Amino acid sequence: MTTATVLAAASNRAAALVRALDSDLEAAHAKDRRHRNFMENLTSVQFLLPLLAVYIIIVLIPFAQSIVFSLTDYDGYDFANASFVGLANYRTIFADQTLLAGLGFTMLYTIATTVLITAIALPLAVTLNRKFFGRNFARSLFFFFSVPSMAVLGLVWQYIFSPLGTGAVNTLLGKLGIAPVPWLSDPTLAKGCVIFIAVWVQIGWHATLYLAYLQAIPADLYEQASVDGASRGQQFAHITLPQMVPAMGVSIFMLLTGGLKVYDLPFTLTTGGPGHATYTVTQSIIVTGIGSGRYGVGSALGVMFFLCCVILVALQQVVTNGIEKRLS
């Protein structure tokens, strides 16, 4: 064996050793990375656990309970006495004309408030974003509408929209020689009054939401547009509106879910009347179901309503995402 051969063999062994060492080192690094990732994930999970627990306790478990209740004749006293009734509670719902009336107004309320609030709050936010005397006062004033509870506002507006000649609005109209208007005693006007108050209450809050997004739009975009000769309308259509799509997504999502669940305002203002003109699905769940000791029917209503909400909100998300992609 020559010296060269010995050196070559030693070199090969050394190279193999280095490769083996590299491989071990890489494996050790990979393991370390995996461990680090696992620990990071574990930390994230630990942070999420309290939220997850709250979600499970106050949303998932009650919802699962509702599904179980909806298949029984549970009367709210002792579940051990309840019997399995299959889908009978669901059949009851579809046979109840009151509920269908409630569904009609709930949909009208949701769509009307969503469209009107979005249509008014966006330009309002643009206006409140400009510099003018008393801007902060104006912002506070619009936001203040959303502070009192809907139930309290319903009771107050009951006197303002009283159909008697002594009602606040009718007194004003009377001074102008106009006969009393049956605000809350005419089905169409009563619906209009509920929607009007809901819009009046919520525009300030949603305008504030839009305002926050508006302030995040870079000012140089408008400066460039101005240099290029774009008018205010063109700037709104081509800069503001596309930039506001994510805000609109959030706002519309909240309006849809809030609208579908509406109960306090129509209940305190009109008690769902006249007739069933302003009756809502939530009122039906409370009056026909829970309030009457028919937890089974109430739960079935809740489950059906939840599914409707999920479908509607999913649809809204798809549409909003589509618009966002088209504009981006």
Partner 1 sequence: MKHTWTTAIGAGAAIAMVASLAACGSGTASGKTELSFFANNTQDLYQPLIDAFEKANPDVKIKFSTTNGAQAGYQQTLQTRISGGKLADVYVAPPEQLSDLVKNHVAKDLTDEPFMDRIGDTNKAQATVDGKVYSMSVTAWSNAYAYNKDLLAKAGYDTIPETWDEFIEMLKKLKDAGVDKPYLEPKAGLGALVEGWIGYDSSKQSKSIDQQIGDGDSTFAKSYTKYYKEWAKLFDAGVMGSEVTGLADDQVRSEFAAGRLAVMPSGYWDVKTFKDAGLNFAFGRMPMLHTGDTPFAPGAADSGYAINAKIDGKKLKAAEAFLDFISSEDGLKILQSSLGLIPATKNYTPDIDETFTEPYDLYLKTGNIYLNTLGWPSTGRSALRAETFSQLQQVALGSISPAQATANLDAKLKTLS
Token output for 262: 């509406």
Closer residue to partner 1, CB minimum distance, 89 or 251: 89
Site string for partner 1, 86-125 (x = CB under 8 A): ------x--xxxx---------------------------
Contacts of residue 239, defined as CB under 8 A and 6 or more positions apart, other chains included, come to 217, 221, 222, 225
Binding of residue 275 to partner 1 (CB under 8 A): yes
Q: Please report how close the Cβ of residue 66 comes to partner 1 at its closest, in angstroms.
A: 15
Count residues binding partner 1 (CB under 8 A): 42
Q: Please report how close the Cβ of residue 274 comes to partner 1 at its closest, in angstroms.
A: 4
Closer residue to partner 1, CB minimum distance, 104 or 180: 180
Q: Which residues inside 206-265 make contact with partner 1, applying CB under 8 A?
A: none
Closer residue to partner 1, CB minimum distance, 182 or 259: 182
For residue 238, with 0-12 CB atoms within 10 Å meaning exposed, 13-18 middle and 19 or more buried, which class applies?
middle
Give the residue, chosen from 106, 110, 202, 270, that forms a contact with partner 1 under the rule CB under 8 A. Answer: 270
Q: Shortest CA distance to 235 belongs to which of 217, 218, 246, 222?
A: 222
Token output for 207: 């305008």
Closer residue to partner 1, CB minimum distance, 47 or 159: 159
Report how far residue 154's alpha carbon sits from residue 262's, in angstroms, rounded to the nearest whole number: 12
Q: Which residues inside 57-86 make contact with partner 1, applying CB under 8 A?
A: 75-79, 81
Q: Shortest CA distance to 124 belongs to which of 111, 138, 134, 145?
A: 138
Stretch that binds partner 1, among 46-54, 60-68, 153-161, 203-211 (CB under 8 A): 153-161
Q: Which residues inside 167-206 make contact with partner 1, applying CB under 8 A?
A: 180, 182-187, 190
Q: Which residue type sits at 186?
A: D
* Rounded alpha-carbon distances, angstroms, from residue 290 to 70, 200, 209, 302: 12, 31, 35, 10
Q: Please report how close the Cβ of residue 182 comes to partner 1 at its closest, in angstroms.
A: 6
| Reduced 3-state DSSP string for 197-262 | HHHHHHHHHHHHHHHHHHCCCCHHHHHHHHHCCCCHHHHHHHHHHHHCHHHHHHHHHHHHHHHHCC
Q: Report the interface residues with partner 1, using CB under 8 A.
A: 75-79, 81, 92, 95-98, 158-159, 161-166, 180, 182-187, 190, 270-276, 279, 287-288, 290-294
